[in-house]
């Protein structure tokens, strides 16, 4: 079974659409991004998300206090660390975390073992102006399914309804993460959210 994370949620209606269509996770971006939300925005939207759907906050090199306070006020289940957070820093967190890695070369995957306490690790494209959400894929053949802990693996980067079936068959992730791939003109598109999730569920 492959789950779905709809990231970059900025409006309640889009969160509800993701939940209704069967998403297992939704993501709020607190780092610099065109999809950045305020703490109050995220908190208001989160009130419409059932406990069965996990809420993830995306951060880049945020201080520990900011991570914990945002998680508490919004009700986050995970913080997603998209920056240069060191393993020692991550070990001190009292909230479950997802460590994101940008993948250019096979060697980029070698540091995964250093984040053994991560609930998940997210593999994303290294291309684009932001640490994530750039709508570009990376070379999926770099992923060795024999050595990767599939149960903790989230695949991100340039996914959409047209390539997600190939992505799942090639990499076998626990979760696929999409943001720009379910948008039209930079705004979440409810029909694209529904079609993407349906496409994933048809592969399960």
Name the residues annotated as catalytic.
Answer: 7, 124
Positive or negative, the Cα torsion across 92, 98, 101, 107?
positive
Q: What ranges in 94-184 are assigned the alpha helix state H?
A: 164-171
Q: 153 and 174 in contact (C-beta within 8 Å)?
A: yes
Beta bridge partners of 56: 27, 78
Q: 82 and 131 in contact (C-beta within 8 Å)?
A: yes
Task: Compute CA distances 136 → 103, 128, 143, 162, 199, whole Å.
Answer: 11, 8, 16, 14, 19
Burial class (CB in 10 A: 0-12, 13-18, 19+), 12: middle
Q: 168 and 2 in contact (C-beta within 8 Å)?
A: yes
Q: 101 and 111 in contact (C-beta within 8 Å)?
A: yes
């Amino acid at each position: 079974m492959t789950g779905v994370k709809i990231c970059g949620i900025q409006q309640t209606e889009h969160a509800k659409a993701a939940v209704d269509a069967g998403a297992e996770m939704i993501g709020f971006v607190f780092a610099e991004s065109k999809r950045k939300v305020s703490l109050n925005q995220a908190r208001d939207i989160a009130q419409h998300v059932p406990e069965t759907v996990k809420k993830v906050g995306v951060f880049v090199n945020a201080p520990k206090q900011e991570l914990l306070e945002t998680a508490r006020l919004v009700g986050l289940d995970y913080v997603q660390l998209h920056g240069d957070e060191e393993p020692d820093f991550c070990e001190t967190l009292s909230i479950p975390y997802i460590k994101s890695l940008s993948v250019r070369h096979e060697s980029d995957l070698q540091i995964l073992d250093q984040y053994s306490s991560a609930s998940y690790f997210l593999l994303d494209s290294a291309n684009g102006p932001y640490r994530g959400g750039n709508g570009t894929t990376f070379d999926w053949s770099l992923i060795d399914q024999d050595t990767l802990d599939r149960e903790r693996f989230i695949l991100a980067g340039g996914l959409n309804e047209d390539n997600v079936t190939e992505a799942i068959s090639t990499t076998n992730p626990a979760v696929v993460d999409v943001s720009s791939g379910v948008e039209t003109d930079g705004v979440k598109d409810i029909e694209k959210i529904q079609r993407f999730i349906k496409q994933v569920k048809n592969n399960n």
